Amino acid sequence: MDPKNAYPEAPLDGGEQNPPGSTDAMPDRPDHGEESYRGSGRLSGRKAVITGGDSGIGRAVAIAYAREGADVLISYLPEEQEDAADTAQLIEKAGQKAVLAPGDIRDEAQCKAIVDRAVHELGGLDILVNNAAYQMSQPGGITEISTEQFDRVMKTNLYAMFWLCRAAVPHMSQGSVIINTASIQAYQSSAHLLDYATTKGGIVAFTKALAEDLAEQGIRVNAVAPGPIWTPLIPTTMTPEKVKSFGSDTPLGRPGQPAELAGAYVYFASAESSYTTGEVLGVTGGKPVS
């Protein structure tokens, strides 16, 4: 199969939506691996937390983890309940336990509550996927980024990751893993996503430092850096012009689909990557992450 033709090229229709957006409202719905992902028991018995697990990359990871044998708690905003319920059904259809944890991770107490619920309702915590993120394109650059927006991006993308990791580590044992979602924006930063790109660069640095910190405890920390991936985040946070050309500037000539990310998160969560920590794996359609 030619990877250039594996999925549709731009333009894709995401519908007219406001943040955080809905999968069902997208005329061109993303592929999360609902029909394609086949598990092989690589995460049997594991307990996972996935932030932003209701849709997009988070849903694809939740489906893959469940089909690999893991129980999954998904964190999401309350207004994303419908998408979250759909993801929970897919987890349960795979024969695994699904726990729904609505709430805003900009609240430190909510981050601690997510970890506490995983420990009590799943019976432990082996895998933490810090995937939730917020962005809002500002074509005018720095002068259009309000303090309110900057604060929201920082709290969602960086503070929450720190709070979740700090709460999770005491409950983790040897063999546990933390996987953070970085971005091509950490390496090829766009002016219209200045604040978002700043946080993604921070996630790369955080991942490498935390990997060194936790290596002695036998806890691995890695990151996945997606390129342009078709999720509800895109039509709800970018201008129509950006959406129209989304992904067309990659060497493969198209946007990626969430299903194309799932394998990377499974790899980092499984024993197959036992000698890998502090690394960033780019899934970018050919854009370099270096």
Residues labelled catalytic: 196
- How many domains in the chain? 1
Residue 288 lies in a domain: no
Residue 23 lies in a domain: no
Percent of the chain at pLDDT exceeding 90 = 98
Place of tokens 């309110």: 148
Label residue 57 by pLDDT band (50, 70, 90). Answer: very high
The β-bridge partners of 76 are 102
Place of tokens 């939506």: 17
From 7-21, 58-72, 156-170, 182-196, the region with the lowest mean pLDDT: 7-21
Range of the domain at 204: 40-283
Place of tokens 């990557």: 273
Euclidean distance between CA atoms 169 and 213, whole angstroms: 11
Residue 289 lies in a domain: no
This prediction has a pTM of 0.97
Long-range contacts from 153-159, C-beta under 8 angstroms, 24+ separation: 153/195, 153/196, 153/198, 153/199, 154/195, 154/199, 155/106, 156/105, 156/106, 156/132, 157/133, 157/196, 157/199, 157/200, 157/202, 157/203, 158/199, 158/202, 158/203, 158/206, 159/106, 159/108
- Alpha helices, H only, the chain: 56-67, 81-93, 108-117, 147-154, 160-168, 194-214, 233-237, 240-244, 259-269
For the stretch 211-264, pLDDT in tens is 999 999 999 999 999 999 999 999 999 999 999 999 999 999 999 999 999 999
Residue 256 lies in a domain: yes
Q: What are phi and psi of 222, to 5 degrees?
A: -140, 175
First CA to last CA distance, the chain: 28
Residue 154 lies in a domain: yes
User: For residues 164 and 105, is the Cβ–Cβ distance under 8 A?
Assistant: yes
* Sign of the CA dihedral with 6 first, then 10, 15, and 20 last: positive
In terms of Cα–Cα distance, which of 194, 195, 203 is closest to 226? 203
From 12-16, 63-67, 275-279, the region with the lowest mean pLDDT: 12-16
Euclidean distance between CA atoms 154 and 167, whole angstroms: 19
Residue 10 lies in a domain: no
Residue 24 lies in a domain: no
Residue 211 lies in a domain: yes
Neighbours of 209 (CB within 10 A): 12
Q: What does the pLDDT read at residue 14? A: 96
CATH of the domain at 167: 3.40.50.720
Q: Cis before residue 258, ω within 30 degrees of 0? A: no
